[in-house]
Amino acid sequence: MHELNRPRSRLLTLPAIVIVAVITQAPILVTIGLSLVQWIVVRPDLGVTFVGLNNYFDILITRDFYSVVLNTALITLASLAACTVLGILFGLMLNQDFRGVSIVRTLVISPFFVMDAVAGIIWRTMMLNSSFGFNESFASLLGIKPVDFFGVYSLLTIIILIVWQWTPFFVLIMLAGFRSISVEIADSARVDGAGWWRELLSIRLPIIMNHIEVAILLGMIFVLKVFGLIYVTTRGGPGYSSANLPFYVFRLAFLGWNVGHAAALAVVTVGITLVAIFFLFRWFRRRFAEASS
């Protein structure tokens, strides 16, 4: 493996670094620049003026900002926990071989194929609408009032929708991991007399730890960026009760047309996310280092 240290091999990383750097860092720099100006697109008469850190102050003194951060944290933690658990369980379930397993697998990962805006509309109208969705049918069957999913339980409903849509992502990764475990190991554990649960916890999960790591790290980033589902169902409401940081950015950028505020919020969002990812990443590094030693 020492031969890979040759500089020529390292060149292989260059295209990726260059493309990604240019495409993702340039917008971040522009965003930081925009966060220092006042620019309200629909009021060109007010002009574009440099205002330093005022936009950041404006954001940080708004009470709604803090509820949105709290919402984002709740959505992320709850969704990640549910997705991870379901991803592992479904991954195990789909790891069997039987006739039609391909269909079963495709069905389970199908929510992932739908545009999140369309998924949101399906849930909002056909499933959970209180006047003509399945929600109403079940409610009248049981003789109760239909549940106000998008009104009173807006945050919880968003979490449920996110879990519904993103569990397939986790399932794919976990399933790939489980498939890579040899039959011999699984059988040897069974011979040892280990129960199904013990086998899972002490043998299978540690083996697929790097899969779990990828799923959680990437999953967290995706869930943090969820926007389409919220846009089409609750629009962040009622109030700001189901708004997350990306949706709040949208409100500022495309309804308020306040580019400065939106950019400042985007920078703050990236900052918060960076910190969260950093700690999670380090935690995984430590655990993985322990496991492999």
Partner 1 sequence: MISRARRGRRMLRIAAAWCVAVIWAFPLLYMLLTSFKAEADAVPPTLWLAHPTLQNYGVVLQQQILRYLEDSGIISLATVAICIFVGVPTSYVIVFGRLKRADNLFFWFLSTTLLPPVAMIIPVFLLFRVLGLLDTLGGMILIFSGVNIPIVIWMIRAFLLDVPREILESADLDGASRLRSFFSTIVPLCRQGIVSIGLLVFIFVWNEFFFSINLTYVNAAPVPVYMASFMTQEGLFWAKLSAISTLVILPPSILGWFAQRSLVKGLTAGSVKG
Partner 2 sequence: MRRTLAVLAMLLAGSTAVFSGGAPEKGGPVELTVATVNNPDMLIMQQLSSWFTRSTHIRLNFVVLPENELRQKVTEDVGLGSGRYDIVTIGTYDTPFWGKNGWVVSLEPFFARLPKTERDAYDREDLLPSIRSALSYNHAQFAVPFYGESSMVFYRKDLFARAGLVMPETPTWQQIYDFAVRLNGIEKGTYGIVLRGLSGWGEILAPFDTMINAFGGRWFDEHWQPGFEEPPMREAWEFYKKILSDAGEPNPATNGYTECLAIMQSGKAALWYDATVTASALEAPGSKVAGRIGYAQAPSARKGNTGWLWAWALAIGSSSKHPDEAFKFLRWATDKSYVSLVGNQIGWSRVPPGTRASTYGNPRYLSAAPFARRVLTAIESADYEHPTLPPVPYVGVQYVSIPEFQSLGETVSQQLAAYIAGQKTLDAALADSQAAALRVAREGGYLKQAQ
Site string for partner 2, 137-176 (x = CB under 8 A): ---x----xxxxxxxx-x----------------------
Select the binding partner of residue 263 from partner 1, partner 2, none (C-beta < 5 to 8 A, by kind). partner 1
- Rg from Cα positions in the chain: 23
**44 belongs to the binding site for partner 2 (CB under 8 A):** yes
Residues in binding contact with partner 1, number by CB under 8 A: 110
Q: Which residue is listed with tokens 């060109």?
A: 44
Minimal distance in Å, beta carbon 145 to partner 1? Answer: 18
**67 belongs to the binding site for partner 2 (CB under 8 A):** no
Interacting residue with partner 1 among 42, 50, 63, 102 (CB under 8 A): 102
How far apart are the C-alpha atoms of 52 and 39, rounded to whole Å?
A: 12
Q: For residue 158, which of 273, 242, 281 has the smallest C-alpha distance? A: 242
**129 belongs to the binding site for partner 2 (CB under 8 A):** yes
**37 belongs to the binding site for partner 1 (CB under 8 A):** no
Q: For residue 84, which of 7, 177, 203, 194 has the smallest C-alpha distance? A: 177
Q: Which is closer to partner 2, CB of 55 or CB of 79?
A: 55
Minimal distance in Å, beta carbon 228 to partner 1? Answer: 6
Q: Which is closer to partner 2, CB of 105 or CB of 251?
A: 251
Site string for partner 2, 213-252 (x = CB under 8 A): --------------------xxxxxxxxx---------xx
Question: For residue 145, what are the contacts with CB-CB under 8 A and spacing of at least 6?
Answer: 139
Select the binding partner of residue 110 from partner 1, partner 2, none (C-beta < 5 to 8 A, by kind). partner 1
Minimal distance in Å, beta carbon 241 to partner 1? Answer: 19
Task: Let me know: does 223 contact 80? Beta carbons within 8 Å.
Answer: yes
Interacting residue with partner 1 among 49, 125, 140, 202 (CB under 8 A): 125
Residues that bind partner 2 (CB under 8 A): 40-46, 124-125, 128-132, 140, 145-152, 154, 233-241, 251-252, 254-258
